[in-house]
Amino acid sequence: MTTAGPASDAKVPAYWRALGLPGIVDVHVHFLPDRVMQKVWAYFDSKGPLTGRDWPIRYRWSEDDRLAHLRSMGVRAFPSLVYPHKPDMAAWLNGWAREFAAAHDDVIPTATFYPEPGVAAYVDQALRDGARIFKVHVQVGGFDPSDAVLDDVWGMLADVGVPAVVHAGSGPTPGAHTGPGPFARVLRRHPALTAVIAHMGMPDYDDFLGFAERYDNVHVDTTMCFTESFDATQAHLLREKLAPRLADLQSKVLFGADFPNIPHDYAHQIDVLTRLGLGDDWMRSVLWDNGARLLGVPG
């Protein structure tokens, strides 16, 4: 049985209650210092002329309003997923994220890193300060995740089992080091690494799902996958193609929405997952069980 998905954000709580859940764990949420968030939004605004496809930010709201909306929908735990685009930025973002999480009980302490001198030291400090999830944005950062300067960092994360949400796929536009090859090198060196492949590796789904099938601690998140903001037909075909593999990966699929930087309602990401037809038990695993287990969220 698959319960019909929510038609609007207001109906999200009724949906997870129908599944018998205490709420939702969303592993892919962005909160950033205001001036950084404004620059991120300006970047999305600029993508339309470059790609021929506008990307209106659905939740271009104040920080307080964004927090209130997540809570109104019953999102019980979420990270801030900060990420740098240049050197000498990551440690500062980690300090901001630490303070942000300390101010909000439902925010998972988050950190990030960049291939630069001193990276191992500030990642070690972030772990000592309680970081429970990292964000690594290969596309925005424009760096090779298998760079030797990061080897100790990946090793630290593998040793302590703290997950890293890694945007290594080539969507929405390819980067110099995106695609499965560079991150495959990381996994060969650190096969115990706990990784969450953002967007299921979009558009390189086959290879990145293969990582989750091959490595015990590699997961995928659902962020932007199967949504119909741009091409409903392609989304339908993708659901048909990937559903059998995602059924087998039930314990490794985590819910992510990319809030607030999405061009559709939050509820739409949940609704399109129900259209995979994988059943209520699969949805319970994705919306709560897997994320709560990985991030240590009490039930």
Is 105 a member of any domain?
yes
pLDDT at residue 110, as a whole number = 98
Is 298 a member of any domain?
no
Is 70 a member of any domain?
yes
**3-state SS, residue 167:** strand
Residue 111 structure tokens: 């950190």
Is 29 a member of any domain?
yes
Is 297 a member of any domain?
no
Residue range(s) defining the domain that contains residue 170? 9-292
Q: What's phi and psi for 170, nearest 5 deg? A: -95, 10
pLDDT at residue 50, as a whole number = 46
Torsion of the alpha carbons at 36, 179, 216 and 106, rounded to the nearest 10? 20
Is 114 a member of any domain?
yes
Reported in sequence order, the residue ranges of the chain that DSSP labels E, i.e. its strands, are 24-25, 75-79, 107-108, 110-112, 133-137, 164-167, 195-197, 218-221, 253-254
Q: Give this prediction's pTM.
A: 0.96
pLDDT tens-digit profile, the chain (299 residues): 899 999 999 999 999 999 999 999 999 999 999 999 999 999 888 875 445 578 899 999 999 999 999 999 999 999 999 999 999 999 999 999 999 999 999 999 999 999 999 999 999 999 999 999 999 999 999 999 999 999 999 999 999 999 999 999 998 888 899 999 999 999 999 999 999 999 999 999 999 999 999 999 999 999 999 999 878 899 999 999 999 999 999 999 999 999 999 999 999 999 999 999 999 999 999 999 999 999 999 97
Q: What is the CATH number of the domain that holds 283?
A: 3.20.20.140
CB 111 within 8 A of CB 134: yes
pLDDT at residue 46, as a whole number = 85
Is 85 a member of any domain?
yes
Residue 240 structure tokens: 């048909």
Structural domain total, the chain = 1
Is 288 a member of any domain?
yes
